[in-house]
Amino acid sequence: MLLKRYIPLAIVFLVGSVTLISWFIPHRPFGSLEIHSTQWFDIIASFAMILGALNLLKLQGTKIVQRRKGWLYSVAAVSGFFLTLVFAFLMKGGHYVVISEVGSNSAEVYQAIGDQLNLPFGVVAGQYESLSENGKTIPKYFYTERGARAFESDLNSLGAMTAHQEVAWGGHLQGSGTYFHWLFSYVFTPLSATMFALLAFFVASASYRAFKIRNVEATVLLVAGVILMIGRVPLGHFLTSWFPSWLQWLHLPNLQEWIYQYPNVAGARAIMIGIALGLVGTSLRVILGIEKSFMGEK
């Protein structure tokens, strides 16, 4: 009873109270508590991500083994999970060439670099005519070492002095030309774009239901929505461009901008204030031990 109930409540009360007080005392050690709290949050979130990954494998693996409906989608999910792990921790790619000396056949070297980078001869010549002591990295990343070696060999055959290098671990997560970057750019990003594109149909359906004129509030919402949609396209300017100067405030682009800047911002701020008050109330309930849902109690 002590370990399961009172100690968690005491920890929550202590941490919550100290964090709350730190916002009103900008001196050490309270002034830096937010930074340390964020670091602890990142550590806990890392373990939560591991647990989430294991739970994913458990649920999807069970679905695959039992051949439930849609188990092929589970195969795709598990395959993508392990492929991402391989590209993140085992295979990185990102091979590139550093040129330290152009040599006597500079024109041919510039032409070879330009062909790889799809740049005109003059641009390449201006960039590589003066090299520093450490050389200059050619911004062309190859997925395999063979591709980088082949490019390096072509430059060396023209008299240039080059060196082959590879992006460091960690840098390969964002560096172009790496396997992880390829997976993110050509698999994850298109899938995310597809999901957000599908949301447009749900938004259209929700808008149709919301814009049905049932009462005064729905009428105001319909009129404001139509003005905003038409006022942000060239059609809105065309429909009201003939208005005289003293009716410019009824010009649809101006009217939609006024709705967006004033009623919309006022409503958004009211919602944010309500959310903030709700957060304060919930936080106080947790700190004082009134809310116990985080311990599995109702």
Distance CA 294, CA 8 (A): 9
CA 31-37-38 angle, 5° bins:
110
| Separation of alpha carbons 190 and 186, rounded Å | 6
Which of 1.10.1060.10, 3.30.540.10, 3.40.50.620, 3.30.1390.10 is the CATH number of 95-166? 3.30.1390.10
Quick one: residue 243, left, alpha or beta (phi over 0 = left, psi -120 to 50 = alpha)?
Answer: beta
131-186 confidence digits (pLDDT tens): 777 788 888 889 888 989 999 898 888 888 888 888 888 888 887 889 999 999 99
Mean pLDDT of all residues in the chain?
Answer: 85
Query: Which residue bears the tokens 């003059």?
Result: 122
Domain layout of the chain by residue ranges: 15-81, 95-166
Which amino acid makes up residue 62? T
Indicate if the pLDDT at residue 75 is higher than 90: yes
Cα angle: 30, vertex 35, 40; to 5 degrees: 110
Q: What is the pLDDT of residues 248-265, one digit of tens each?
A: 788 888 888 899 899 999
Pairing type for strands 136-142 and 95-101 reads: antiparallel
Beta carbons of 128 and 113 less than 8 angstroms apart: yes
Q: How far apart are CA 128 and CA 123, in angstroms?
A: 9
Q: Comparing 122-126, 170-174, 213-217, which segment has the lowest mean pLDDT?
A: 213-217
Cα–Cα distance between 33 and 5 in angstroms, integer? 26
Looking at residue 205, its pLDDT comes to 80
What interhelical angle do 71-89 and 33-65 show, nearest 10?
Answer: 130
31 alpha carbon, distance to own chain's centre: 29
HSE of 98 in the Cβ direction (CA atoms, 13 Å)? 13
The answer to whether the CB of 143 falls within 8 A of the CB of 179 is: yes
Neighbours of 123 (CB within 10 A): 13
pLDDT cut 70: percent of the chain above it? 96
